[in-house]
Structure 1
Amino acid sequence: MSFQSAIRVAHDIYDHPAASPAASVPSLLRRRASYRIFTPISQVTRVPSLTRGHPSYLDSCNTYPELLNFKDPNYWNTYLARVQALLRRPYARWFLTMGGILWRLALQFSPPSLLNDALTGLSLDVTTWGIGEVNGQSWDDSVTAADIAMLIGVSGTGSCWLPHDVWNSSCQWKGFWSDTDEQWFQSHLGNLSSGNTEAGKTRKDWKHFFRPISAARSAARSSDVSIYGSEAFARELFGQLGFCTDVIPTWNLVSVDR
């Protein structure tokens, strides 16, 4: 969970002291904010598979897709087919917990069931096949770098959509999806879907349009309005509220002690 998301959970707890931090999850999901929920391994009921062998997509999830060719006017149809197949995989629910641009892409191209899957917990890929991320004694779904590359549409020269690390570190991203973000998304979606072979951009170009908060500004004091809404600002504010900022913010959904 980012400090931007943690501030929202802390605010909800302040407003509703008796509520569990889990009550904040639907709000985080609606706002495209990042979060994760790990389930204790002891609470994961493995369901024996009724068929032999696991799904083939679990064997290929670490395999990078063939690079898109932006010079081919049909590249957008190729991208759509790949992404829609990716988002039908049970573990793809995890994209919706990553927030930001990956959340928006998953919402745009996924089947309607994915949103509910993000709220209901571990997918069959964990409970049936034991494929996921283990964190200590807890378990969650996960996606691979190859999955993310497929979702943003990587080509030989760039990508259809900006890399999520560029998005997360940009001055534009304030930890939740804004009307301005949506206007940009719809405009770029229209540009891509028209078959415009110039719509994709290199990483350098993406960083030009979505300028990162520099290291100097990230270290600035909270009085510097240029970092308002940034992860650095949220971390400082989180510490002022009395929470530890040395590690990633976490809450025990059974015990609310901080």
Structure 2
Amino acid sequence: GATFSLFAGGHTGYCRLPDPVVHRRFIFHLHAGLWLVRDVAEANDSHQLDLFWHFAPGLTVSRWENRFIAALKDSQAATENTRLALLPQDVGWTSELTSGGFSPAYGRKESTLVVRFTARTKLPTEFATLIVPLFSASDKPGKFVILRREESLTDNSSLHAFQYDEETKTHYVVFADRGGWSLSEWTSDATFLYYRLENRRLTHLILCGGSFAKWQGKQVLSHSAPIARFEWLRNGESGQIFTSEETIDQSLSDGLLGSCETVF
């Protein structure tokens, strides 16, 4: 898309186990912003799960509460202040910072720092990791949580939603395994939806694989067939639209996106 990238993939390498496991990975990247990595393990029994993040040589990694901050070493940091924060989901897994191997080329192995997340749990299950760039020395990562079904979701067990709070911004990311769901003030049949609030005002909306979306009970988008990609980005008091459909203008509610504001 114009403002994001979205990847979905999987592999069957663990299907050789007595209880076959399929690993699926979804990656959402907000351009010039965050990455959300969602790993899903599908099977029937309990399994030991380990997830590793290998950091490149030349980086230092420090632990801050349950989060990890990667930065360039001192000699390089003098000219580059950008750091990366690795934020795991808020419950369910243990984590550790350890040493491990890194292979820059075939036949070569170097020592590097590794973050390991682990759990023994019944499948199917999933684990989400948020990666956030920190552009200045004073920047600190916000709070990343899974939206609890009993708090925010209604009538749909196939919905997987996440929230990331910054000082003046809140990001929401929603994955749906099948159509027809409700989340807080949104109703849609999209398989993926992202939206951002800034100072309680809607500033960014992304929808994939859906034919309609409602905000606070009002129709935002309605199309005769699912739309592969729809993006709306606030620009001052108006908005800019990027879409895979040429006829999308006929599917929008007049003025609604331009006037959307969240009321708590």
Question: Smaller-chain TM-score range?
Answer: under 0.3
Q: TM-score, normalised by structure 1?
A: 0.25
- The structure with the largest helix share of the pair is 1
Q: TM-score, normalised by structure 2?
A: 0.25
If asked which structure has higher relative contact order (CA below 8 Å, sep 6+), I would say 1
